[in-house]
Every structure is written in C-alpha cells, then in structure tokens.
Amino acid sequence: MTGIVLDTKNREPVVGAHVYLEGSSLFDVTDADGRFKITVNSIVNVPLVVRHITYQPVIIPNSFTSLPDTIFVKEQDYSLS
C-alpha cells in the first residue's frame, strides 16, 4: 500500500503525516516528498487514517478497494474566537 499526501491548497507534499491502518500497528510517516508505504501481509477491512497536527484528519473507509494514489489534506482551522 503506497501513496502520496499533498496539501489541498498549494499541492505541496505534506512531510511528517502519520498514515496508518486503524486498530493496527501498521503505519508509516510521510517523507520529504509526502510519500508513504505500508507493507501488509493480507487484506483487512479497516480504514486508512492520515493525521498531521496542521491538517484535518482524513479517513479512507475501504483502503484496499478505493485508495487513491494521492491523498489531499486540508489545513486545520485554529482561529481563536
């Protein structure tokens, strides 16, 4: 399972995003190009989660059947009211 994580607004790679299969110890952290690779031994029906402190989390429910090559993340709004 491989892919790339990009910022929705500027299409730049997101470095240091945690990408993991929910409820498992299978994960990776995106590199300088926003790329990740998770090695799995069998197909499991769990969501793929992408998290980064600066961005809103992304959850892909059927990661083995509908994983896009590129995952776009939106910036988190931390405005004070």
The tens digit of pLDDT for each residue in 16-53 reads 999 999 989 999 999 999 999 999 888 778 899 999 99
Residue 14 has pLDDT above 70, yes or no: yes
* Spatial CA neighbour of 5 closest among 58, 72, 64: 72
The most distant pair of C-alpha atoms in the chain lies apart, rounded to whole Å, by 47
Residue range of the domain that includes 58: 2-73
Is 9 inside any structural domain? Answer: yes
- pLDDT, residue 58, reads 96
> What is this structure's pTM?
0.88
Q: What is the CATH number of the domain that holds 57?
A: 2.60.40.1120
**β-strands 55-60, 70-73 pairing:** unpaired
Total number of domains constituting the chain: 1
